[in-house]
Amino acid sequence: MLNSLFIVNTTGDVILEKHWKSVIHRSICDYFFDQQKRATHPEDVIPVISTPHHYLINVYHNQLYFIAVTTVETAPLMAIEFLHRVVQTLTQYFDECSDSSIKENLVLVFELLDEMLDNGYPLVTELNILQDLIKPPNFLRNIANQVTGRTNMSDTLPTGQLSNVPWRRQGVKYTNNEAYFDVIEEIDAIIDKQGSTVFAEIQGSIEVCCKLSGMPDLTMTLINPRLLDDVSFHPCVRFKRWENERVLSFVPPDGNFRLLSYHIGAQNMVAIPIYVRHNISLKGGQTSRIELTVGPKQSMGKILEDVVVEMAMPKTIMNCNLIPTHGKYSFDPTTRVLQWNVGKIELGKPPTLKGSVSVSGTSTVEPPPITLKFKINQLAVSGLKVNRLDMFGEKYKPFKGVKYITKAGKFQVRT
Amino acid sequence: MEGLTSPEMEIAEGGVILDNRARFADLKAMLDSNKDTLKVDAMKRIITLIAKGKDVSELFAAVVKNVAAKNVELRKLVFVYLVRYAEEQQDLALLSISTFQRALKESNQLIRGSALRVLTSIRVAMISPIMMLAIKDSVRDMSPYVRKVAAHAIPKLHALDENLEPELIECIDFLLADRRSLVLGSAVYAFEQICPNRLDLLHKHYRALCKALIDVDEWGQVLMIQLLTRYARHEFSQPDDQNVDPDLALLLNSARPLLQSRNCSVVMAVTQLFYHVGPKSQLSQVAKALVRLLRGPREVQYVVLLNIATMCERNPVEGSLAISKTMFDSFLKSFFVRSSDPIFVKELKLHVLTSLVSEANVHMVLRELQTYVSMSDLAGAAVEAIGRCAVRVGAVSEQCMKGLVQLISSQNETVVCAAVVVLKRLLHAEAPYNLLARLIRLMPNIETPQARACIVWLVATHANVVIEMAPDFLRILAKSYPNEDQLVKIEILKLAIKLWMVQREKCEKLVQYVLQMAKFDLSYDVRDRCRFMRNLLFNTTILSKHAEEIFLAQKPAPELVSKFKERDQFQLGTLSHTLCQRCDRYADLPSWPEVSSDPALRKDPNAADTPAWEEEAEEEDESEEEQSDEEDSGEETDDDEEELENEESEDENESDTSGSEEESDEESEEEETGSEEEPIKKKPQPKEQVKKGTDNAGASNLKPVSNSSQPKTSGNLDLLIDLDFSTVGSRSIAEAPKSTFSPLVLLNTVESDGLEVKLLEFTRENEGKFTPFVLGVKNTTNRQMQAIEVRVTDMKTKISGNRQIDQLEPGDSRKLRLAIDMEASGGATKKIELKLEREAAQPCSFSLEIPLGEQIQSVRFSPEDFEQQWKKLGGMNRHAAKLDKEIEAEQLMGRVNVHKINQKLYAGQTRSQTELVLIRLDEENLEVASENAIFARMLHSQIMKIFM
């Protein structure tokens, strides 16, 4: 599968290289840099690149490119999925996967990569086992290590790999046993000029933070499992039970993980909780005006929070002179992004942003689409609800909590 | 950076010039110290340098010394270093080997595993024998973890020394039979790396692999599905919607739940399985899962969209495969473009949108496309998409045209260009009058030169359609001629010439005027073109005669070929498919065989605990096969059989459920840990099989004597033979053609005093080394006979099957199904001496000769392989003769059990020695070749004797 991996930042420095087979010189990245130069946005670099003798598969994350090199036919999605796993693992280890966090923990990253692939083929990708093999850095442990001379490397051998629940490590112990379930739903939508919905769907997931001792066997029932007809599960979920009884039965991994993700497609009706009214005219030479109003719509009695309105302005926009009734706005003259942080939308008069814009040149400019972000707490917009959670296999009584959040996903308003 | 670095000096960050020697000296000192913390620090710095791509190979000696360190972290870091540099420092690397050899004997399985992993990662060819030994031991290790690591080690060793391939394949074959899903995924990986074409090894593991699929780790699932896809294409005939091979159904049913995997590559693998192997009606199941992946990261979207585009492109016109198109219809909106998508995703989405377009949804799509035209980076592609809609859906072509014409006068340069190109392409073949008229009327409002040129070109090309308006159009253009762009001028020139040909009387003066203007144009291109035209038309008599042919020739319209059409040749989800180029080590999917291979091949000989119902299913399977055999194998199966098959596939479903149930898994594991105490030595022990034999004697694929009681011993014997066979040949045995042997009397009633023995037929079943045949024994007297037995006179003769008849009523007859190993019995041409004994009568002897044609069995061969083998078998091994009359293929196959490759080529192998037998037959010649020279000669002369 993979021969080598290069981690490269957007300025073109190779931060790390790792080879699982014979060494491939880093000059192979030049092919990638060529492509990168041609792209206008960092995201526009094509993910699979062919060179005379090698194939480069890259993944972009947080100003970093992870470039996998292979010499023979390999399923590209397999490489892509693996690279994303690397990103996820690094994020879990260092809280963020960024240029600086990798540079700081170069040895650890190198060791992790060494464990994850064997001869270029995935060996251990399960986070729980990796954490057993190599302990994640943490402030307290670092100090303790300094004092006692111990290391991050675990000296006990991990046994998780051998069990038939490879995703859970053994001998987990907590004084407070607790399990939190976050039902997170993101609304992806395209709203057209007139304010009607072109397309809307819900991407949901249940994220779990599980701190339970021993080998708990959990069973979760939903009030309306029929909603989920397009689901993908963490390997721990017993698929047959779901098929037959519509019950989620699983032995959870330790720590944070995504239990399932689901998709409620465009065929179903999705309630859109927010509206945007806009009046934008961008004409060169004359006074151009922008007027935006946002407000709640069918919010089911819940309050819209963290509302952010964003527009990536075209190059001809020189400056903005706007006045918001609520929140703050900013215009970055280099990236030309207009951002309006509305915050919480209270009842009463809907927030507006109004003012003039200076446009260079004489031609009329098409107004850019508006991207919306918002959050609604204690609401799953699809109506999904957890009925109950039972635990078997262990004697203690765990604390259980369920939280619902609805967020904007790729929410776009055309202008 | 590289250029600056000299081996000795390096400019460190901050601009200080460091001497490499000095710097490495302090690292060396740290490594030589006796404090572990110092050593670990040094190693960490070294690894940091490696990660940055610096060369630290000169520290090798100092590092390797610590390979046996007590400190776990230090040791691990040393391993990392060792694996990286061993290749460059082969001699020094050898120093570390003994450490690993020792660790391989440790009692802790994890230590054994990691030692094997590091040992085999050291790329030093010299130690390949040591690796080979280590792998051979480890594949039989009692810990599944070590076995998994061993599977991973196999490709590493293969890369180091390809000569070890046969031995490594043996190891893989052994690992494939492993019952732990932990091992299976890696075993499949090794298989794919080393011998992806040895599909014959998979027969006996096929069903076990299908059932284990859901429990294997996700990466293993991807490879396993890909492997099984190839296997299915190689072994099963193409399924249609009603008729799916039960084994294929098992594969599809086990793979289906994986559509819900969180791993996108698994979903893709299942998709390509259904696309390439599944019946068409089942394909639509994958759509939902694929659309779900579209929500993933941009890279995933890119690959998935490429694959969806190919699936849609497969048959855009309504037809037999239209299902691949309609399956995405309900997800149309998921392909709508967001301005935040990366550019390549946008373009692909547009492509998919246009290939999904149909009468029902065209208006929605067009409205979408119109909004994209205003997106700056997507405008061109959107216009092109509108053009594609116009071609795809005839009903809206008029509307699209109108839209495009309006776009021509847009201010956006790219939109105009794109619109022009699309219009030109659309109107190339024929243009409706009203549209052209409209264009002509629009002309004064259009400013962009490209657009103006395009309109002039259109009018010129279709001058016949607007024959009334064209001269006037030219007149207006002539008026503004001096102010036109060069592009437009050339087009006007062309229009003028065309009109001169079609309507000379109306516009002769006008044409002269235009030509005169062009003659004195500023641009030499225009002057040049003008001179060329003039000379062609007026100054040569030879060419001007053909002027009409030159200027008014019919041009073929450019075809709308999708760039995804080409991709269809590649397997979905592969790198080659993504790049649309043949990547290294890409193998095409095999084409469907005419008939499925024998399901008995896939019987798992090691499955001791197969549930009873499955046994039944298999029995049904066989009875069905017999039926179809009798009916003639080529015939369509009738309705009853279809039902049967459906039931079976349901059964398989259930097996799936029980197989993947967590509980049962745990149980079997417990069992295994129990048996792991004693190291696994060899292939399954015969004792077990004997026990198993008694359990399912009825279901074995050897048919016992049909209507007499079956003594247990012979059943066991049969099963042993069956097992013996499974390890024999590597060629895949093909379905045998029906024998046309006519019954032969071996012992007549006179000689034996009332008993007649006939050689009835050759069943041509697969019984390993044994050649099966059927004897008929008939009582022609009017008294009951008892205790009849056929005995062998020569002790060497090896015959299996029941040879006793307890009782035979007057006039009654019995069949004895027997099988003989000719080689063990004294050679292929040996006459078998038999004795018929019965109560109260003299034994009488008779002899039996098995025709050579029945001593072989058909094997599947490709024509290429045939040619290759044929070349090898020359001289003594080949015999040829002219034929006096033609031999039909059916005739030949009726007497000689060979597989028909094509009309001329036939292949088989001898049952007892598995020697290859090849026959080449045409109208005039018969050639027989075999690895066994004598056999070839004898077979050749026998065939000649039979037919000539």
pLDDT in tens, B259-294: 989 999 999 999 999 999 988 888 888 888 898 899
Question: Is B160 part of the contact surface with chain A (CB cutoff 8 Å)?
Answer: no
Sheet holding B785-792, edge to edge: B804-808, B785-792, B832-837, B844-848
Read off the pLDDT of residues B341-388 as tens digits, 9 standing for 90 and up: 899 999 999 989 888 888 888 888 888 898 888 887 888 889 888 888
Nearest to B359 by CA among B318, B305, B407: B318
Q: What confidence score (pLDDT) does residue A149 get?
A: 57
State the maximum Cα–Cα separation within chain B, in Å, rounded to a whole number: 127
Burial B279-305 (b: 16+ CB within 10 A, else e): bbebbbbbbbbbbbbbbbbbbbbbbbb
Flag whether pLDDT at B309 surpasses 70.
Answer: yes
A284 vs B916, residue with greater confidence: B916
- State the ipTM, two decimals: 0.92
CATH 2.60.40.1170 residue ranges of chain A are 178-270+381-413, 274-377
Question: Is B658 part of the contact surface with chain A (CB cutoff 8 Å)?
Answer: no
Given an 8 Å threshold on Cβ–Cβ distance, is B299 in contact with A47? yes
Q: Which of B433-442, B535-544, B688-697 has the lowest mean pLDDT?
A: B688-697
Please say whether the beta carbons of A277 and A296 come within 8 A.
Answer: no
In angstroms, the CA B368 to CA B374 distance is 11
Question: How close B125 comes to chain A (CA, Å)?
Answer: 13
Confidence of residue B945 (pLDDT cuts 50, 70, 90): confident
* Chain A contact set for B660 (CB, 8 A): 239-240
* Chain B contact set for A84 (CB, 8 A): 297
Flag whether pLDDT at B4 surpasses 90.
Answer: no
Flag whether pLDDT at B322 surpasses 70.
Answer: no
* Chain B contact set for A110 (CB, 8 A): 47-48, 50-51, 80
Measure CB to CB from residue B586 to each of A16, A73, A154 and give the nearest one: A73
Residue B313 structure tokens? 């492109």
Residue in chain A nearest B304 by alpha carbon: A77
CATH says A4-148 is which class? alpha beta
Residue B407 structure tokens? 């776009």
**Average pLDDT, integer, range B774-794:** 81
User: A205 in helix, strand or coil?
Assistant: strand
Give the β-pairing of B925-930 and A64-70: unpaired
* Chain A contact set for B121 (CB, 8 A): 118-119
Question: How close B401 comes to chain A (CA, Å)?
Answer: 24
The CATH architecture that domain A178-270+381-413 belongs to is Sandwich (2.60)
Residue B867 structure tokens? 């040619």
Given an 8 Å threshold on Cβ–Cβ distance, is B298 in contact with A60? yes
Given an 8 Å threshold on Cβ–Cβ distance, is B336 in contact with A199? yes
Q: What confidence score (pLDDT) does residue B642 get?
A: 40
**Average pLDDT, integer, range B430-440:** 80
Question: Is A267 part of the contact surface with chain B (CB cutoff 8 Å)?
Answer: yes
Q: What confidence score (pLDDT) does residue B608 get?
A: 45
Which one is the CATH code of A274-377: 3.40.225.10, 1.10.287.1060, 2.60.40.1170, 1.10.10.60? 2.60.40.1170
The residue among B299, B302, B578, B663 with the most chain A CBs within 10 A of its CB, best to mutate, is B299
Q: How far is CA B637 from CA B238, B346, B368, B594, B622, in A?
A: 14, 48, 50, 15, 14
Question: Is B299 part of the contact surface with chain A (CB cutoff 8 Å)?
Answer: yes
Question: How close B76 comes to chain A (CA, Å)?
Answer: 9
**Average pLDDT, integer, range A173-178:** 90
Question: Is A123 part of the contact surface with chain B (CB cutoff 8 Å)?
Answer: yes
Read off the pLDDT of residues B475-497 as tens digits, 9 standing for 90 and up: 999 998 888 899 899 999 989 98
B237 backbone dihedrals φ, ψ, rounded to 5° = -80, 160
Question: Which residues numbered 360-419 in B keep a CB inside 8 Å of some CB on A?
Answer: 368, 371, 374-377, 411
Read off the pLDDT of residues A77-127 as tens digits, 9 standing for 90 and up: 999 999 999 999 999 899 889 999 999 999 999 999 998 998 899 988 888
In angstroms, the CA B311 to CA A368 distance is 33
In angstroms, the CA B731 to CA B605 distance is 18
**Average pLDDT, integer, range A131-138:** 79
In angstroms, the CA B910 to CA B932 distance is 9
**Average pLDDT, integer, range B673-701:** 41
Structural domains in chain B plus CATH codes: 9-234 (1.25.10.10), 427-539 (no CATH), 684-850 (2.60.40.1150), 856-947 (3.30.310.10)
Non-local (6+) Cβ contacts of A213 within 8 A are A172, A173, A174, A177, A394, A396
Question: Which residues numbered 206-245 in B keep a CB inside 8 Å of some CB on A?
Answer: 214, 217-219, 222, 226
Confidence of residue B3 (pLDDT cuts 50, 70, 90): very low
Give the β-pairing of A64-70 and A117-118: unpaired
Element (H, E) at A16: strand A14-19
User: A255 in helix, strand or coil?
Assistant: strand
Nearest to A230 by CA among A271, A267, A256, A270: A267
Element (H, E) at B844: strand B844-848
A139 vs A294, residue with greater confidence: A294
* Chain A contact set for B46 (CB, 8 A): none
Question: Is B855 part of the contact surface with chain A (CB cutoff 8 Å)?
Answer: no
Read off the pLDDT of residues A47-69 as tens digits, 9 standing for 90 and up: 999 999 999 999 999 999 999 99
Flag whether pLDDT at A358 surpasses 90.
Answer: no
Q: Is B708 exposed, middle or buried (0-12, 13-18, 19+ CB in 10 A)?
A: middle
Residue B62 structure tokens? 């100092």
Q: What confidence score (pLDDT) does residue B560 get?
A: 64
CA B789 to chain centre: 52
Read off the pLDDT of residues A251-278 as tens digits, 9 standing for 90 and up: 999 888 999 999 887 677 788 888 899 9
**Average pLDDT, integer, range B699-722:** 39
Nearest to A49 by CA among B588, B705, B578, B207: B578
Measure CB to CB from residue B264 to each of A26, A77, A162 and give the nearest one: A77
Give, rounded to a whole angstrom, the gap between the first and last alpha carbons of chain B: 83
Given an 8 Å threshold on Cβ–Cβ distance, is A47 in contact with B257? no
Flag whether pLDDT at B519 surpasses 80.
Answer: yes
Q: What confidence score (pLDDT) does residue A88 get?
A: 93
**Average pLDDT, integer, range B877-890:** 80
**Average pLDDT, integer, range B35-53:** 90
Element (H, E) at B654: helix B639-660
Flag whether pLDDT at B694 surpasses 50.
Answer: no
Question: Is B118 part of the contact surface with chain A (CB cutoff 8 Å)?
Answer: no
* Chain B contact set for A135 (CB, 8 A): none
CATH 3.30.450.60 residue ranges of chain A are 4-148
B87 secondary structure, DSSP code: T
Residue B192 structure tokens? 């794919």
Confidence of residue B868 (pLDDT cuts 50, 70, 90): confident
